[in-house]
Structure 1
Amino acid sequence: ALYYGLNALSNNMIMVDRKQLKNPNGLILGTPGSGKSFSAKREMTNAFLITEDDIIVCDPEAEYFPLVQKLGGQVIRISPVSTDYINPLDINTNYSEEENPLTLKSDFILSMCELIVGGKDGLQPVEKTIIDRSVRMVYQEFLADPKPEKMPILEDLYNILRNQKEPEAQRIATALEIYVHGSLNVFNHRTNVDVNNRFVCYDIRELGKQLKKLGMLIVQDQVWNRVTINRAQHKATRYYMDEFHLLLKEEQTAAYSVEIWKRFRKWGGIPTGITQNVKDLLASREVENIFENSDFVYLLNQASGDRQILSKALNISPSQQNYITNSNAGEGLIFYGSTIVPFKDDFPKNTQLYRIMTTKPEETVQN
């Protein structure tokens, strides 16, 4: 069990093991300055020191790297000018429960192509068929002899599409060209960073609008790769997604996020979404699935409108609402299965760990 603060009523320590829940998936929700990121870092640090779990962070604001570096983790900076690369076509033989991992990988590549090619109406049935056929061709050599140097990259998929006869294949290949030979070719490389480090942070702040959605989708697939490898080793994987509402804005990344929420549990994955934009979160059609499949919610101070929405969604009583109304940083409500506990977490500020974890500029450690 990990420490989450003190019970605001009894002052007893709150010790929680999310793995004991029917569904360990979680959400950390709160206004800016309420302590969302700090709470996430606190849980990560506890998990790192007390458990054997692997920890992965998708970091859109580049605020986790001091902690990751201090704990000996791997920060992967993904941007058009970075030399850190991850390959969206990475696959391992445990990627799917089925004998053939290609079915699930094809589904991911279809989602990726839909973001790149789809437009308003998405991919047409003929285009989906062509992509699926090309995916199966591009992995033939690797699956016959799974050596790292035989892992395909995006350019291999592009070349196979160019060799198809249908005009739709040429349209897809042309749309992919900027990501293969053009200025957005950051994802056309083999993975050259340590994605197997126990603590990995994907820093995507500098991806820009054109690439951020695609980058988030590819990071999710990298996490799925890791979860499938860890499952075979009976190891849990904790995955934190900051600015989680961004993933729910696009249909493809939203659908993939819901799949993670539904599928991760039986594979030993523990996903956590972190966001301040509760209205945006609840505006997504997919969010009902997220809430229904989250037995752990860490609720910090809420704005008035968000408070009303959440009270209805989580059945919060008027007296419990007081703990998320104008509350101090690190105070709120913890939902653990059917239990609701008010908490406070006064982390000592005169520690090096506090200075590494805080996001307040005047309090951060100077490197």
Structure 2
Amino acid sequence: MSSLPLAYNQIDIQRGMTTSSTAIFVPFTTQELFQPDKEALYYGLNALSNNLIMVDRKKLKNPNGLILGTPGSGKSFSAKREIANAFLVTDDDVIISDPESEYSPLVERFGGQVIKISPTSSQFINPMDINMNYSDDDNPVALKADFILSLCELIVGGKEGLQPIEKTVIDRCIHKIYQKYFENPVPENMPLLEDLYNALLAQEESEAKHVATALEIYVHGSLNVFNHRTNVDITNRLVCYDIKDLGKQLKKIGMLVVQDQVWGRVTENRSAGKSTRYYMDEMHLLLRDEQTAAYTVEIWKRFRKWGGIPTGITQNVKDLLASKEVENIFGATR
């Protein structure tokens, strides 16, 4: 009687079923990613069900993002679509590092600030900029010193980078030049790269003179674009740093300086309870050198903690996966 299709079971037998066993009776074959939140953004269609993929990255376990693809596959368009959605749907600040001058028309259309940085430009950002919230401990200069060491590593170059003595004298000079600013934190007292150069020349060690000589072209020479006070509106809700015209010699330095500017913005927004979205094109360039890769990883980890939502955009998957730091950034294995 129990085996007949009468829906009448005379056999009193019960047993527990595991999730996988129960799933056999569920008539669905696809897994959906759809968050019906006010700030959820469109990320495409589910390949099996053709349903929308709507996600609020701030509510995911890890908000970091990566856009990978071959040339011409639509990486930049995908990033622009997400930027436009984020600007219109959320109240988040959006900052873009643009090595190929692709995002300027979109930013200008939305009334954002395009900062064009080149050796002949009249727009400047100061790599020595710092604020009182720059770090979550009592010594913001320590994290700034890490950035300046990365910058000097790029400038000095060489296979082995900075030597221990060189790092020591740079760190000593950094604390010295920021002392005046923190005693009276007004814009006029913000240090410049020239202040670091002069402080290095005043040291007795020959290693300090070596680093100062390498810095000279960036202070008094033809590449002095980063030896000026910031004179642009970096407080706009949508900011694009156009570094296309920096050339091969300065591009990596420019990307590192922009990343530090973004970190300063993230720290200010954290105090205001606001999120910051950062889009970095050609991010693999910063993962090639050990020092810049280490600083990039440190900043990306802090972004997650401080309300930042960074997105890397790259076609050079080989360089990206070759970096041992990629696991630390995205929480994924190679």
User: Structure 2 length as normaliser, TM-score?
Assistant: 0.86
Paired with 1:223 and 1:105, the residues of 2 have a C-alpha distance of: 13
Find the partner of 1:223 among 262, 276, 288: 262
**In the TM superposition, what are the counterparts of 1:44-59 in structure 2 within 5 Å?**
44-59=83-98
Report if the CA contact (8 A) 2:64-2:330 is conserved: no
Number of the residue aligned with 1:270: 309
Return the offset for 1:252: 2.5
One-letter amino acid of the counterpart of residue 156, structure 2:
V
**In the TM superposition, what are the counterparts of 1:65-84 in structure 2 within 5 Å?**
65-84=104-123
Return the offset for 1:275: 1.1
How many residues of Structure 1 are paired with residues of Structure 2 in the alignment? 295
**In the TM superposition, what are the counterparts of 1:1-367 in structure 2 within 5 Å?**
1-292=40-331, 313=334
Return the offset for 1:31: 1.4
Number of the residue aligned with 1:325: none
Q: CA RMSD of the aligned region, Å?
A: 1.3
Paired with 2:122 and 2:68, the residues of 1 have a C-alpha distance of: 34
One-letter amino acid of the counterpart of residue 206, structure 2:
P
Matched residue SS, 2:66: strand
Return the offset for 1:142: 0.8
Paired with 1:280 and 1:124, the residues of 2 have a C-alpha distance of: 26
Report if the CA contact (8 A) 1:258-1:289 is conserved: yes
Paired with 1:257 and 1:160, the residues of 2 have a C-alpha distance of: 27
Moved over 3 A (4+): none
| Structure 1 stretches lacking a partner, 5+ long | 294-311, 314-367
Return the offset for 1:186: 0.4
Matched residue SS, 1:93: coil
Return the offset for 1:118: 4.2
| Structure 2 stretches lacking a partner, 5+ long | 1-39
Q: Which structure: larger Rg?
A: 2
Return the offset for 1:123: 1.3
Paired with 1:155 and 1:260, the residues of 2 have a C-alpha distance of: 25
Q: Which has the higher contact order (CA 8 A, sep 6+)?
A: 1
One-letter amino acid of the counterpart of residue 150, structure 2:
S
Return the offset for 1:250: 2.1
Report if the CA contact (8 A) 1:213-1:253 is conserved: no
Give CA-to-partner distance per residue, 1:297-331, whole Å, 9 cap, x none.
Answer: xxxxxxxxxxxxxxx95xxxxxxxxxxxxxxxxxx
Q: Sequence identity of aligned pairs in percent?
A: 75
Q: 119-128 or 144-153, which moves further after superposition? A: 119-128
Matched residue SS, 1:111: helix
Return the offset for 1:93: 0.4
One-letter amino acid of the counterpart of residue 284, structure 1:
S
Give CA-to-partner distance per residue, 1:109-141, whole Å, 9 cap, x none.
Answer: 111111112421121111111111100111111
One-letter amino acid of the counterpart of residue 121, structure 1:
E
Return the offset for 1:184: 0.5
Matched residue SS, 1:139: helix
Return the offset for 1:79: 0.8
One-letter amino acid of the counterpart of residue 138, structure 1:
I
Report if the CA contact (8 A) 1:216-1:253 is conserved: no
Return the offset for 1:279: 1.7
Return the offset for 1:12: 2.3
User: Structure 1 length as normaliser, TM-score?
Assistant: 0.78
